[in-house]
Amino acid sequence: MGSIKICPYHVPVRITKKIWGLFIVATALTVFLSMSGGHTLFVLFDRMALTDFFAAAGPSSIWLFVLAHVVANAVGVPGTLLVIVGGAVYGLWWGTLWSVAGASLGAIAAFCLARYLFFERFKAHFYHKPVFKKLNTALCTNALFCVLTIRFSPISPFNVVNFAFGLSPVPIRAYALGTFIGIIPGTLVYTWLGVTGASALEGDSILPLVVCLLMLMMLSALPLIIRRSQQTP
């Protein structure tokens, strides 16, 4: 019989940043789905299902609501519907607070995923191009202001912006602070939309709902106003 050769050394498995990122996302998804009573991620697109779920979840609903924001941002699901549901379930002020907390944490999670998984490759392929050199110079010069300007617009693609900033040279501190402050006005209005929408469905006056929609339009124009004010000598 021939002898069996045993490998004289052990080759360690290298845990890369990509593996860690996928592990964190998978863990967050597992926790959310295990605590959501068997719901799938499609529940994040169903306003009535979300409203009923969080309203019936009891004391744990707040943590589930915040976790839902984190999961939604990490996997790229728009969280606007969650903010509106937060207004319908928790009211204006508490709904705004929990949505800002959850959306900020989720935005930071998405930023970190993009920064640690794809930044080096993106930098090697695109940072030498002139358009990215100019953009990166502007971002490095006043990172906080750039983040605030984009976040003040409630119609900016929140998830796309999260990952895009992760691929940029913006420091995480400026990104986190700018995101937290910048999303407060839009979150407040969308939460109010949830409150007034629920009242309108119950037969109350639709005037607050109309005012809320007008405020959204005004907030959407804010970045243009800021840009024009900068260009004015």
Q: So where are the chain's domains?
A: 17-231
Q: Is a pLDDT exceeding 70 seen at residue 12?
A: no
Q: What is the per-residue pLDDT across 109-165, written as a single tens digit (0 to 9) for each?
A: 889 888 888 888 888 888 888 888 888 887 888 888 889 888 877 667 888 899 989
pLDDT at 180: 93
The token pair that represents 216 in the structure block: 């959204």
pLDDT at 11: 35
50 in Cβ contact with 95 (< 8 Å):
no
pLDDT interval class at 206 (50, 70, 90): low
Q: 119: burial class by Cβ within 10 Å (0-12, 13-18, 19+)?
A: middle
Q: What is the per-residue pLDDT across 74-102, written as a single tens digit (0 to 9) for each?
A: 777 778 888 988 988 898 899 999 999 99
pLDDT at 173: 92
pLDDT interval class at 16 (50, 70, 90): low
What CA–CA distance (Å, rounded) separates 122 from 124?
A: 5
Q: Which of 5-19, 72-86, 172-186 has the lowest mean pLDDT?
A: 5-19
pLDDT interval class at 7 (50, 70, 90): very low
Q: Is a pLDDT exceeding 50 seen at residue 9?
A: no
Q: Which amino acid is at 223?
A: P
Give, in order, the Cα–Cα distances in Å from 144 to each of 103, 174, 202, 229. 18, 5, 42, 18
CA within 13 Å, CB half, 5: 3
> What average pLDDT does the segment 50-69 reach?
84
What CA–CA distance (Å, rounded) separates 198 from 179?
A: 28
Tokens 């913006």 identify what position? 170
179 in Cβ contact with 149 (< 8 Å):
no
pLDDT interval class at 15 (50, 70, 90): very low
pLDDT averaged over every residue in the chain: 74
Angle at 223 between CA 104 and CA 146, to 5 degrees: 55
